[in-house]
Structure 1
Amino acid sequence: MDVFETTFALSFHYPMVLEKFSPQSNGYAQIKVANNLIVEEKGMLVDDFNTLCALFNEKQDLYESRIGIILAETGNFRFSFDFFFTLSAIKWP
């Protein structure tokens, strides 16, 4: 599916889910990243729940989101990008 051709949306939002491995539970658990540890180069941080926004680049015909995280502690981490949402620019009669 082409998101832009389907929705004409100039952006879409997606959650940045960062998980850290816990030896106590022998598994990964979601952690919150403080806003001051998130660096935005392209795209933007939308809210305090680590929701990010990818913006449509009309010249290159693609969505861009380049977000960095400053890791403030050591450990094993992983990202999950299982979900995104967009609002359609289509106007219904």
Structure 2
Amino acid sequence: MDRRIARMAKTQPMISSRVIRDSLMLPVSTVTIRRNLCEANLLARNPHKVPLWKKKACAKRLQFAKEHIDWPVEKCRNISWTDEIKILYSCL
């Protein structure tokens, strides 16, 4: 049973202990399942809360895009956008 609980938690990391218990039809409490997951080094996770785009921000972003649609690519490359992420490529 321990391996089945750990396997289910690994395949679905955001699943709750109650859902694990119900789907595997185990006659144990959710605390027992959580204890078992801790022993398997599968600690609890909370997803990060990300703020949603507001209508005002979407309108401003669209307005900016419409105003600067004629910019050349070289000029756009010199701007540091706030929603960009840095991606590092590694050679295989």
TM-score (norm 2): 0.22
* Greater fraction of residues in helix: 2
Larger Rg: 2
TM-score (norm 1): 0.22
* Greater fraction of residues in strand: 1
